Chain A
Amino acid sequence: MRKKIQLGVLLLLAVVLVLLPKVSPFFIVFVATEILILGLFATSFNLMFGYCGLLSFGHGAFFGTGAYVAGLLLQHLQWDFIWVLAVAPLAAAVGATLIGWLCVRLNEVYFSMLTLAFGMMVFAIAHQWRSVTGGSDGLAGFPLTEVGIGLDIVLANPFHFYYLTLLIVALSLAAIYLLTISPFGLILRAMRENTERVAFAGIPANRYRLYGFILSGLFSGLAGALFATFSRVAVPEMSHWTQSAEPILMTILGGSQYFFGPLAGAAVFLGLKTLITSYTSEWMIYLGVILLGMVLFLPKGIFGLLERWLGGRT
């Protein structure tokens, strides 16, 4: 029964997302695009947090790397977009390999602190290396290229970009989902519960954590590349700790124990932000109060609440 409800909801969501641009006001397409991209970022973050039990405070590093690599490739080489989307996440994955190799040995707050430090190191590089990254102003005004492989998609067209994003995010989420239910995903989850017991079972825990970290960085980089193209800029703030904090907030809002929790959290976070800024310039305090209330009263996130409503576990 529960499976059927889930499948139904998922199908309904897919229909809504596909039909959205046809029925919604134009600007909603932009908000939805942003939600999808940051939802992917939050989901890839949650691969470490929800499944591996490691709270990374430095995922902005991979998001930013993806954004900058995409920006640089578009600015200097004008590659077809499909290749940009292939290479930028790989660059982020390389970064995740280096950073992860050092970080996964640590647990809990030490892991969080080290990822935070590496994240800010990437920010400092983006901010200071003016000749390559454009310094504090970042990369701006890069051209949008063809998508490539014969696809007739215009990146500058918000509808086209929305559907492209929807497709890429859907494929990525499917891939991440398959990972989480695979034996590999089970090992990650087992480590979340008790790393030592997993190690005693003969599984090289750190190596599996590193694999998780690299995959998480890879998809974060993909989200960053999409975000830079959507925003038309790659700026140092995209690797700042405040950027790293966004997926954390989104994940907690949506529910870290649910696969679609981070995506739902992204929708609520960005929806509220877009809405409140229309009414007041002191939007941060209102958003803060609302988020505080949601975290306090919905400890399992939106999905936890929904599940209770639908009469699942209590």
Chain B
Amino acid sequence: MLRKLLVMAVVAFMAIGFSLDAQAEGTVKIGAIYLLSGAFSTYGQFAKNGIELAADEINSSGGILGKKIEFVLEDSTGKANVGIQAARKLVYQENVDLLMGLDSSGVAKGLVPVVPELKKPFIITHAASPDVTGSLCNKYVFRISLNIAQNTKAAALIAKELGVKKWTTIGPDYDFGHQSWEFFGNYLKELDPEVVLSADPSFPKFKAEDFTPFINKVISDKPEGVFISLWGGDLINFIRQANNLGFFKQNFKVLMSLGAATEVLTALGDQMPEGIWVGTRYWFAANDTPTNNNFVAAYKKRFGDYPSYNSQGAYAAVYAYKTAIEKAKSFEPDKIIAALENLTVDTPSGELLIRAEDHQAVVNGNWGITKADKNYPIRILDPIRIFPGKDITPTPQESGCNMQ
């Protein structure tokens, strides 16, 4: 009997769940898709913090054109097909007006071609595959975060200044790692035709635990510069093991394209070597603007930490939507899309321009040299190098976008 009741309860619960249609009048609903489970779920959590903060700020100061923001999160689990189904659910079941999100390039590449069917604007805040605003670009998809091309262009500019010629890489063995090395190598060759790129670069498995063989190989290869595109937990493990093997005391320069992510610096504390060039999509101390100072202070007060780039990206996307809707004076998807094109948005990472041609934001790249500072619990960047978006963003022709 009890079991019968239990089953009935589950069935009833499902029926109610599916018929719930919580679209209150006077709200604008944002659907966000991030990595919320598994080893990299902190990225989803950071993004959630950013959206929450932006939504609360906007709601407490009158909303967007008088409408309050409501948001729903869905888990991409890092799989393209799951991300696509999540987007369909957000649009058709949750009736969201706006979409945002995406941590993984793989999910982004799968989902972007499907967005035109959903007919809602989509702002990407993290996934870095150049194709998303290149060969796969379409009317509905925008990106306000730094992509692989922009970040590796900045890295190549630094590499040129460092003046060393013989480069190799250590990167995760999936498309992001391979593409990062290809782009970095191509840009560097353009800047300095004399550089020699290793024919045998190191690509440890993504989420590998043991990087020792790769560290030893690079040390014995004696390159002059090492470009590292490992990120997140991989980068943390790598740096700990590299410290033990004396990797950072060798006679070569090191560039880490995502080494200044705050979660990496926080996890490593004083194990993060000093004097290394590291990049990030956003650095909390890079801009002394009211927007950034307010954001950092509010974030720190609420979550007790310095904001990571994923929090900033999500926060900026919500404000980009606000700016676009106010410019369009409408919640119609097509009008919002038109307003997003050529829109300048004031974000904590500086002013960015969303290009009309390929919908990629011309956004600053942040690099710097790691340094200990007793006022901070983590290594900070000093000096900070900000690469203006216009210097590192490929032209729409180069990005290969054919907007329709």
- Residues of A whose CB lies within 8 Å of any CB of B are 24-28, 30, 34, 127, 130, 134-138, 140-141, 156, 227, 231-233, 235, 237-238, 271-272, 274-275, 277-279, 281-284, 297, 305, 309
Contact = CB atoms under 8 A, between A and B. Distances in A.
A237 B78 CA distance: 10
A185 B105 CA distance: 45
A137 B176 CA distance: 9
A156 B113 CA distance: 12
A278 B22 CA distance: 12
A238 B81 contact: yes
B224 interface: no
A233 B105 CA distance: 13
B178 A135 contact: yes
Contacts of A278: 17, 72, 89, 93-94
B256 interface: no
Contacts of B88: 27, 30
Given A277-B74, A281-B44, A136 B80 contact: no
B94 to A, nearest CB: 8
9 contacts: A25-B18, A27-B92, A27-B93, A136-B106, A138-B110, A232-B113, A238-B81, A278-B72, A305-B7
Interface string B349-376: 0000000000000000000000000000
Contacts of A279: 17
Given A136-B175, A277-B74, A284 B109 contact: no
A281 B73 contact: yes
A283 B105 CA distance: 23
Give the interface centre of B72, B110, B117, B136 by most chain A CB atoms within 10 Å: B110
B19 A25 contact: yes
Contacts, number: 109
Contacts of A134: 175
Interface of B: 3-4, 7, 13-14, 17-19, 21, 36-37, 44, 48, 72-75, 79-81, 84-86, 88-89, 92-94, 105-106, 109-110, 112-114, 117, 129, 135-136, 174-176, 178, 206
Contact of A130 (B17, B113, B178): B178
A127 B206 CA distance: 11
Contacts of B84: 231-233
Nearest to A302: B7
A30 B114 CA distance: 14
A309 B80 CA distance: 40
Contact of B175 (A137, A231, A284, A309): A137
Nearest to A271: B14
A77 B296 CA distance: 52
Contacts of B175: 130, 134-137
Nearest to B174: A136
B109 A140 contact: yes
A137 B111 CA distance: 11
Contacts of A232: 84, 110, 113-114
Nearest to B84: A231
Nearest to A227: B81
Nearest to B91: A27
Given A27-B92, A130-B175, 8 more contacts: A26-B92, A27-B93, A137-B129, A138-B106, A141-B109, A237-B80, A275-B18, A278-B17
B110 A235 contact: yes
A21 to B, nearest CB: 12
Given A25-B18, A135-B178, A233 B80 contact: yes
A137 B92 contact: no
A27 B20 CA distance: 12
Nearest to B48: A281
Nearest to B116: A156
A238 B38 CA distance: 18
Contacts of A27: 88-89, 92-93
A231 B93 CA distance: 17
Contacts of B109: 137-138, 140-141, 233
Q: Which 9 A-B pairs have the closest CB atoms?
A: A136-B174, A231-B81, A233-B110, A27-B93, A27-B92, A141-B113, A281-B36, A233-B80, A140-B109
A28 B86 CA distance: 12
Nearest to B79: A237
Given A274-B89, A275-B17, A278-B17, A137 B113 contact: no
Contact of B117 (A137, A140, A156): A156
B113 A135 contact: no
A134 B94 CA distance: 32
B93 A127 contact: no
A264 B37 CA distance: 26
Contacts of A24: 18
B75 A283 contact: yes
Given A231-B84, A235-B106, A283-B37, A277 B75 contact: yes
Contacts of B81: 227, 231, 233, 235, 237-238
Contacts of B206: 136
B205 to A, nearest CB: 10
Contact of A137 (B19, B36, B106): B106
Contacts of B129: 137
A305 B3 CA distance: 10
